[in-house]
């Protein structure tokens, strides 16, 4: 399992685009905690969900 992002990076969940852009909070094993702008903080198992890294500037 290759994780190509790190805490502080911005990602989207292509399966749930309405969650908006999320910022990676932490990565522990295959569990990535992301704070999404429209959906709040979620723990994502990246073995089951593909996150896409995005370039995002506030």
- Four-residue CA torsion sign, 22, 48, 5, 33: positive
d(CA 30, CA 44): 8
- What is the residue-averaged pLDDT of the chain? 92
pTM: 0.89
pLDDT tens, position by position, 17-41:
999 999 999 999 999 999 999 999 9
User: Which H, E and C letters describe the chain, residue by residue?
Assistant: CCCCCCCCCEEECHHHHHHCCEEEEEEECCEEEEEECCCEEEEEECCCCCCEEECCCC
């Amino acid at each position: 399992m290759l994780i190509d992002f790190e805490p502080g990076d911005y990602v989207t969940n292509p399966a749930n685009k309405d969650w908006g852009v999320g910022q990676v909070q932490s990565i522990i094993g295959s569990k990535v905690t992301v704070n999404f702008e429209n959906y709040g903080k979620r723990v994502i198992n990246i073995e089951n969900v593909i996150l896409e890294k995005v370039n995002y500037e506030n």
